[in-house]
Chains A and B, each alone.
Chain A
């Protein structure tokens, strides 16, 4: 495998809150290769969004403390000067946000916002940037791009706006694209279109993608590798097949069990009830000392779970390059 686009080592984020220090991200390690899609899954509050905002340097500098290393093409994002970081945002990495209704400035036309991104990094005339903006809109499949550049965001539908956001994020051909719940606010058919679009652009440009979602259907559709987050920690990671078909961590199993059952109804015509994981994630200001999932864990397969943190260790199959790792002591058969 060629040199990774992004290497994250021991990423930790603490936020100062009125209720004490919140340990939102607690030691993440992962890599993203060129053309590879890594899905980060987990429920609300598991630290997925914060972990990528930390990489982009978009957390409020006053209350957030970020430690660890995050090498984007060999250069540490967390040690960069603000000016260098500004130059890297765009050509180094782009980001697509969850809600396309709020991620475009309502008072500027789509074209102006695209031109802004282009001219922040490329020394081109306004006319050339505008022509490039039209090209980009065509590339993301916006109908009638020559007229769409002069539209205001409120004149476009949600799916079209998300295409515009992708065009903006890709306007400087970033090595890494971060999609933070990019399809969550869209309806299912538009979701599929957006996913197809990102996959096509990714294969054309060799972009590495971090796809944050809580939709396991999306993960199965797009990801090469999956990282399951809970309580700010990675509880399991590996290839899509390993994690989704042979989950090891009780939390991953719970997540997969909580999918609606679309299989044939049972003999009496009824369907299996939707399984849920009882309880709520621990508050990041007050994490349990042992396994973060212990308070909700239906298995509790090892006495150490309550007091000690299970380390992330290689489990089962998986190659040396693409290991399947899980932070659990529970055995394979302890379902």
Chain B
């Protein structure tokens, strides 16, 4: 009979200090912000976005003129000290209208993404966590929604419900629901199999608790990144819908509407289209860059998965 080496009978050796942790947890909020601050692109984008949000909040104080103030003596003037962005064909101050348009664009962007985030994440959670027929039914519906070109779907929704900011929000929101559902489901499928979920179930945690306390927080990083990227696309989609006349209606200030109106004057007044266009570019770019930064900070491993996520 062979001598069995019992664990207690190890040759006398100084007991090694218990091993230091080899795997670090996903960074938490404060660490995330710290890491983000060290990523210059993301930090600058975040600051610019904060500035844009402040502009949108305090637009009436900041704008030199009201949105529809007219003075027929100054129609289509080039940028000058009095009107840094020039004036449009109805002699309205373009700077004021760009500032006032920020609120419209951001409100539509934030609310539509919030709608998509809540509905899509819920669908993705249920599909990923419960699997089987729940997964099949929910994700096939998402696939159907996903099969429509985004703008076409938005136009169809607006066509049925009528033009206006509320319907634009709904339209853009519905378009982005499947994206959030897919990103959430993919993430949940991974987290669901983690040992700590099983361990928590083994002490009697309920499904609701497992989903809210264990699965969702650990599945969140790609969803947060998707939110930032979707905001960029939502601002763009709002501009597109406005451009087509399906979003906010004249004479409300809106970047997309301004672009649409400037088309007729593009050879006489470059400033009419350039400034609202720049506002859109700046906002979209910052949301995208912030999204990239968040992705690097929150979950570098998700990089390839996320590359195909937006549209």
Contact = CB atoms under 8 A, between A and B. Distances in A.
Contacts of A190: 18
Contacts of B204: 86-91, 117, 120-121, 172
B217 A116 contact: no
B131 A104 contact: no
Contacts of A152: 25, 28
Given A105-B196, A188-B7, A94 B21 contact: no
A157 B10 contact: no
B199 A168 contact: yes
Among A62, A98, A217: residue with most chain B CB under 10 A:
A217
B192 to A, nearest CB: 10
B112 to A, nearest CB: 28
B107 interface: no
A298 B105 CA distance: 78
Contact of B25 (A95, A154, A244): A154
B2 A259 contact: yes
A62 to B, nearest CB: 5
Nearest to A161: B21
Contacts of A259: 2, 4-5
B7 A195 contact: yes
B203 A94 contact: yes
Contact of A62 (B18, B132, B214): B132
Among B8, B16, B217: residue with most chain A CB under 10 A:
B8
A280 interface: no
Contacts of A260: 5
Interface in B1-53: 1-8, 10, 15-26, 28
Interface in A148-169: 152-160, 165, 168-169
Interface string B193-205: 0111111111111
B24 A154 contact: yes
Contacts of B197: 105
B303 interface: no
A221 interface: yes
Interface stretch (A106-114, A123-131, A228-236): A106-114
A217 B8 CA distance: 9
Contacts of A91: 204
A22 interface: no
B25 A58 contact: no
Contacts of A62: 131-132
Contacts of B209: 116, 120
A58 to B, nearest CB: 6
Contact of B194 (A102, A159, A172, A262): A102
A260 B5 CA distance: 9
A107 B4 contact: no
A104 B199 contact: yes
Contact of B200 (A113, A159, A183): A113
A277 interface: no
Given A105-B200, A157-B20, A245-B1, 9 more contacts: A101-B22, A103-B196, A107-B218, A172-B204, A187-B16, A217-B5, A218-B6, A256-B1, A259-B4
16 contacts: A56-B202, A62-B132, A94-B202, A101-B21, A101-B23, A102-B196, A103-B199, A104-B196, A107-B218, A108-B214, A108-B217, A116-B205, A154-B23, A183-B7, A191-B7, A217-B6
* List of 4 A-B pairs having minimum Cβ-Cβ separation, nearest first: A106-B25, A157-B18, A90-B204, A117-B203
Interface of A: 56, 58, 62, 86-91, 94-95, 97-99, 101-108, 113, 116-117, 120-121, 152-160, 165, 168-169, 171-172, 183, 187-192, 195-196, 215-218, 220-221, 244-245, 256-257, 259-263
Interface of B: 1-8, 10, 15-26, 28, 131-132, 194-206, 209, 213-214, 217-218
